[in-house]
Structure 1
């Protein structure tokens, strides 16, 4: 009860437009995360001036998970917001320490996740779908799609087969904004594919131990994700 009262007081300091974005799925996160973690995400959103650019709910969840992942090696957070269509910028790279938005870009989703919107997700090999949740970035390599970045999926049963599925960050001609004239961005086999002009600078910024969070307004994900529950703080410290 005390936490709910404190949370209500804290929310008074934030514009009502942010509160109106809250949905039922995010309410479950509100009830499980400590007030201090919620307040930290809300304050950072304000200080970075992200209103009107970045989805408040997606950002708050991303920051909550970012703060719980102890294995990260740099203060960089990438948010991919699949509640937005592929025709809009929905990948954001933040420097959390400097409180800066470094990059924003369109990004492709898996061909079987949906048409213009990504609405279906999978952890299964051969599904050609995107996977939600938290990742740590690893090393780069030169592959069939050029300069690419390995992703380590941190959530069992949700995205932990990312390496097995070869889900990586890479550039692609079908992810260029010019393709949007056809009605949507091109789609991948499940990888978050970037415009080729932004591939190298974004990968070089986020490689080697930064956090990535792929978000969607998805109740099933929230019910399973350990990073958005208070009961898993001790478990996440081992990552």
Structure 2
């Protein structure tokens, strides 16, 4: 099935069309795309872009669900558009709590290099469930995990050693992360050995806890304004950062800027 030429591809094509000779007997007429075709082509282009990124980073092999990745990446581009993320780190961390605790369900992806940097076990909150997280909350003392988008902040040394503060962005879902002291830290109960002994990971008070041996290096990579997205089985989770149309605008502007830079050389 033929796809509509994306709007930025259309603009690019126009920039390379030779001017029509005024003495020619025939005239080439280029019809402007309708607003509907532009909207459809932009959506198709953005979806294709995300699928290509997914393939190039080999995320299927790494076990990351493509729909979860698309949601995380949509949030990434929306937050980039709003200047809420680091300008120097195109790193995206995804946690998929649809998977059991015995599975590696955290991925740190370098979107620029199209590479998985870390693929790890990660704990959920004890209030969310045993092997699988099935309930989520933004309430203090719920000891549940919270879904949604977070921006990483600075580090500190706490009772779990080196830890990373998180700023929850989704109103009603994770905005009390700081009040609840939901941070990234290492824990002994996040290990293959714990799984072999207990049949599941240990659980936190709501923090996405990591294996102690990789925590310092993961924190070093993702600290300072990178995006964390936590997905899970919930029918009521919504986020302004899942707005595809808004993400597409940033996507198109970024592509057009790159095209202009290439043409100016």
TM-score with structure 2 length normalisation? 0.73
Q: Which one of 167, 172, 180 corresponds to residue 157 of structure 1? A: 172
The CA distance in 1 between the partners of 2:108 and 2:235, in whole Å, is 25
The CA distance in 1 between the partners of 2:245 and 2:46, in whole Å, is 14
The CA distance in 2 between the partners of 1:198 and 1:82, in whole Å, is 20
Quote the residue 1:28 is aligned against.
none
The reply on whether 1:200 has 2:220 as its aligned counterpart is no
Task: Report if aligned partners of 2:182, 2:207 keep a CA contact under 8 Å in 1.
Answer: yes
Unaligned runs of 5+ in 1: 8-30
Q: CA deviation at 1:43?
A: 1.3
Quote the residue 1:83 is aligned against.
98
Quote the residue 1:69 is aligned against.
79
The CA distance in 2 between the partners of 1:151 and 1:82, in whole Å, is 18
Quote the residue 1:168 is aligned against.
183
Quote the residue 1:186 is aligned against.
202
Quote the residue 1:40 is aligned against.
49
In structure 2, the CA distance between the partners of 1:107 and 1:161, relative to structure 1 (3 Å rule), is same
Q: CA deviation at 1:62?
A: 0.8
In structure 2, the CA distance between the partners of 1:86 and 1:159, relative to structure 1 (3 Å rule), is same
Q: Deviations over 1:103-148 (max 9, x none)?
A: 0100000001011011100001010000011110000000011100
The CA distance in 2 between the partners of 1:230 and 1:176, in whole Å, is 37
Q: CA deviation at 1:6?
A: 4.9
The CA distance in 2 between the partners of 1:43 and 1:193, in whole Å, is 30
Task: Report if aligned partners of 1:109, 1:193 keep a CA contact under 8 Å in 2.
Answer: yes
Quote the residue 1:110 is aligned against.
125
TM-score with structure 1 length normalisation? 0.81
Task: Report if aligned partners of 2:138, 2:176 keep a CA contact under 8 Å in 1.
Answer: yes
In structure 2, the CA distance between the partners of 1:206 and 1:194, relative to structure 1 (3 Å rule), is same
User: SS of the residue aligned with 1:112?
Assistant: helix
Task: Report if aligned partners of 1:226, 1:232 keep a CA contact under 8 Å in 2.
Answer: no
The CA distance in 2 between the partners of 1:232 and 1:62, in whole Å, is 14
Unaligned runs of 5+ in 2: 5-39, 251-265
Task: Report if aligned partners of 1:177, 1:195 keep a CA contact under 8 Å in 2.
Answer: no
User: SS of the residue aligned with 2:151?
Assistant: strand
Quote the residue 1:220 is aligned against.
236
The CA distance in 2 between the partners of 1:132 and 1:58, in whole Å, is 12
Give the RMSD, CA atoms, in angstroms: 2.1
Number of equivalenced pairs: 205
User: SS of the residue aligned with 1:205?
Assistant: helix
The reply on whether 1:59 has 2:75 as its aligned counterpart is no
The CA distance in 2 between the partners of 1:122 and 1:155, in whole Å, is 12
